[in-house]
């Protein structure tokens, strides 16, 4: 009887190890990051969520930095999966940019994870998709790299700042419209001699659309590309 019990343990352990794939660990990490942020992603929290021991996780992932990059890469891979067949390059760039903007807005931790992973696969995925469309627009060879970098930095930078702004208001339980209205009032009361532009646009602050503003920037990039090719 005892031999039968002893014989079953290795098979049970093997089944548990097989069921705990790298992909399952990454998906559980994304859930924790979305709910609790980077500070909440610990191997202990991950072990609790997966009902396993840290050792089983370390079998697939070496450290938190690798885990965060892998989670970020999984999200980015989905975001850049934009259909391109039959679409002109400019339309693909707009769709790609808006997809990444919305992704970072939905997963605020992705913005900071991207900036801490220069040269790694999440950034490479974005650069490659942008670069292919830049090339399709017949940008001069010597201009491909700076153009793609400028677009990448704009998309990631603005996306990250938008997500940070949203987190700021949520963390302080602020109503966005009321907060922007108060800020607009402050701007309008600045010395017009020193801040004429800021005073003039203050009344547009409260009702502005972050996504539309972001797209306006993308359109400026594309207008510049059209004029230079």
Q: Where in the chain is the domain with CATH 1.10.357.10?
A: 82-228
CATH superfamily label, 82-228: Tetracycline Repressor, domain 2 (1.10.357.10)
Please, what are the averages of pLDDT over each run of 10 residues along the chain (229 residues)?
A: 42 53 93 93 92 86 91 96 88 96 95 88 96 94 95 95 87 87 94 96 91 96 83
- Alpha carbon distance 8, 2 (integer Å): 10
Q: What is the per-residue pLDDT for 19?
A: 66
Q: What is the per-residue pLDDT for 6?
A: 42
| CB neighbour class for 3 (10 Å; exposed up to 12, middle 13-18, buried from 19) | exposed
The answer to whether 208 and 122 are in contact (CB under 8 A) is no
Structure tokens at 222: 């594309």
198 Cβ contact list (under 8 Å, min separation 6): 187, 190
Q: What is the per-residue pLDDT for 4?
A: 41
- Alpha carbon distance 22, 44 (integer Å): 16
Q: Where in the chain is the domain with CATH 1.10.10.60?
A: 1-61
CATH number given to 1-61: 1.10.10.60
Q: What is the per-residue pLDDT for 1?
A: 42
- Alpha carbon distance 112, 164 (integer Å): 9
Helix (H, G, I), strand (E, B) or coil at 85: coil
Q: What is the per-residue pLDDT for 72?
A: 96
Classify each residue of 153-166 as buried b or exposed e, where b means 16 or more C-beta atoms within 10 Å of its C-beta.
ebbbebbbebbebe
56 Cβ contact list (under 8 Å, min separation 6): 16, 17, 20, 47, 50
pTM of the predicted model, to two decimals? 0.84
């Amino acid at each position: 009887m005892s031999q039968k019990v002893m014989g079953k343990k290795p098979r049970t352990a093997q089944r548990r190890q097989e069921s705990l794939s790298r992909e399952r660990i990454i998906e559980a990490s994304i859930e924790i990051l979305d709910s609790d942020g980077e500070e909440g992603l610990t191997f202990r929290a991950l072990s609790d969520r997966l009902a396993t021991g840290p050792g089983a996780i370390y079998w697939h992932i070496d450290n938190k930095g690798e885990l965060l990059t892998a989670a970020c890469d999984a999200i980015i891979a989905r975001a850049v999966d934009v259909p391109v067949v039959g679409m002109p390059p400019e339309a693909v760039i707009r769709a790609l940019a808006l997809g990444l903007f919305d992704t970072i807005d939905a997963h605020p931790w992705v913005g900071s994870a991207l900036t801490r992973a220069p040269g790694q696969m999440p950034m490479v995925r974005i650069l490659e998709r942008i670069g292919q469309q830049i090339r399709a627009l017949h940008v001069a060879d010597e201009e491909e790299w700076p153009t793609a970098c400028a677009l990448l930095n704009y998309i990631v930078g603005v996306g990250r700042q938008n997500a940070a702004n949203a987190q700021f208001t949520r963390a302080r339980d602020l109503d966005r419209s009321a907060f922007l209205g108060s800020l607009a009032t402050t701007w309008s009361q600045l010395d017009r001699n020193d801040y004429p532009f800021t005073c003039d646009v203050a009344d547009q602050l409260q009702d502005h659309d972050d996504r539309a503003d972001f797209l306006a920037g993308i359109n400026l990039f594309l207008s510049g590309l059209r004029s230079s090719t």
